Amino acid sequence: MKGDHQHKMNKYACGCAIVASMISIIFGYDTGVMSGAMIFIKEDLKINDTQVEVLAGILNICAFVGSLCAGRTSDWIGRRYTIVLASFIFLIGAVLMGYAPTYAILMTGRCIAGLGVGFALLLAPVYSAEISSPSYRGLLMSLPELCISIGILLGYISNYVFSHLSLRLGWRMMLGVAGIPSLALMVGILKMPESPRWLVMQGRVGEAKKVLLLVSNTKEEAEYRLEDIKVAAGIDASCTDDVVKIPDDKKGGKGVWREILRPSPAVRWILLACIGIHFFEHATGIEAVVLYSPRIFKKAGVVDKHKLLLATIGVGLTKTCCILVATFTLDRFGRRRLLLTSVGGMIVALATLGFSLTIAEHSKEQILWALCLSIVATYTFVAFFSIGLGPITWVYSSEIFPLRLRAQGASLGVAVNRLTNAGISMSFLSLSNAITIGGSFFLFSAVAIVAWCFFYFLCPETKGKSLEDIEELFTRKSSNNSADIELKTKDQLSSS
């Protein structure tokens, strides 16, 4: 059987995916560090809650723009150079935020960093998907989410370490040090190969074959992977030319938006699954916990600033450890099983958090059991999110699109992801003031129930299938659904 030799992970492919995923550490750091930095920024720059919400959410609004640009850019200049561009954008944003004498300059730096986030969130999983074999694709594609969690944890630690500096210097150091890994990544990424699938889409088949020989365990594996990619790109599988002219309708970026806006039944289902999973990742409240955990713990009864930041580090540790577990189990248990288990646990944890915060908020004195239950429920929610919905969102949405639609289709998912993230991060304080903080988490629990039903009915298993075979999975199921509808119609007509 042709996939028998794929079980062993290729070390070179793993190394490339790790380097590409490092850009996600920078993004995670920017997200995590802002949760603690906002406490000091508000005090130093004398800003109100509305300005805090805008500062927190503007990153994602700009990331929405960046993600829409990233798909076309990566089809134009390649996956590798687009990651370099994203690193450079991050660097400029970090320098401006670290300098930031005023709120306006701080916002400018945050906006520029947001553009880099949009590029990073698309490119890291897409690049990882395109260099990996089906047997370990889940592991490599979950590395970006693992790196985001590592970045968030480093941001929380940075909050605690730099909080001991002066008010004026502390938060600027928290935000400015993100420029250091950006420089390192710009150098490291240039030593990596380009995506073999992108090379084939440009007609550079000979170069693609050389890359596949590096990221495959055997020559035979490289050959059949190249054959699958050539077929998907509209090239004759028996063609041995190093440079091939690609049909216009198969070139990356050519007519892609037309096909996305007027999709076939299979592509429509893929789009629905991609947009749905990205929407529910943040609509279930993870950003509220990651970004506003110090406020949540304060509502629960933790008052001291340093204790608040230490409790927040626990959120980062939980997230990182659980995503590490998910990274090594995705290819064993499959996407669907972990996803449904994850969201089921989130429903219970969110309802528990809503209950405990409601008790704590309406009590005239501190209730120890409500405080402890709030912290446990927060960590439990983060844990369940991190073993399934967090990493699977990026794995699933990057692997289900056909080759010709992958970059721009995935960019549409990322755009929805960032808009939803922005909506939550920019409205959570207002929402919690309107319906109480406990009520907010009851609402997130209700959304999680809808998410579980969506995943159960609309997200088929993709474990172990090649990227080229996954399109057939959705095509076959769409055809079966159409056939069922046609059969029912015929039965109704004959009975009448």
- pLDDT tens sequence across 148-162: 888 888 988 898 889
Reported as a single tens digit per residue, the pLDDT across 400-458 is 888 778 777 888 888 898 889 888 888 888 898 899 989 999 999 999 999 999 999 98
Q: Measured between alpha carbons, how far is 314 from 329 in angstroms, rounded to an integer?
A: 23
Closest of 473, 407, 471, 466 to residue 125, by C-alpha: 407
pTM above 0.75, yes or no: no
Residue 100 backbone phi and psi in degrees, to 5: 20, 80
State the pLDDT confidence band at 484, using cuts at 50, 70 and 90: very low
Amino acid letter at 134? P
Q: What is the 3-state secondary structure (H, E, C) of 417-446?
A: HHHHHHHHHHHHHHHHHHHCHHHHHHHHHH
pLDDT of res. 338: 92
- Report yes or no: 301 and 371 within 8 Å, Cβ to Cβ: yes
Burial of 354 (0-12, 13-18, 19+ CB in 10 A): buried
Altogether, the residues listed in the chain come to a count of: 496
Q: Is the dihedral of CA 71, 72, 73, 74 positive or negative?
A: positive
Is the pLDDT at 347 greater than 90, yes or no?
Answer: yes
Average pLDDT, the chain: 83
Reported as a single tens digit per residue, the pLDDT across 69-124 is 887 888 888 888 898 898 899 899 999 999 989 999 999 999 999 898 888 777 88
Q: Is 463 helix (H, G, I), strand (E, B) or coil?
A: coil
More confident residue, 331 or 444: 444
Q: Measured between alpha carbons, how far is 279 from 393 in angstroms, rounded to an integer?
A: 10
Reported as a single tens digit per residue, the pLDDT across 367-389 is 888 888 988 999 999 999 999 99
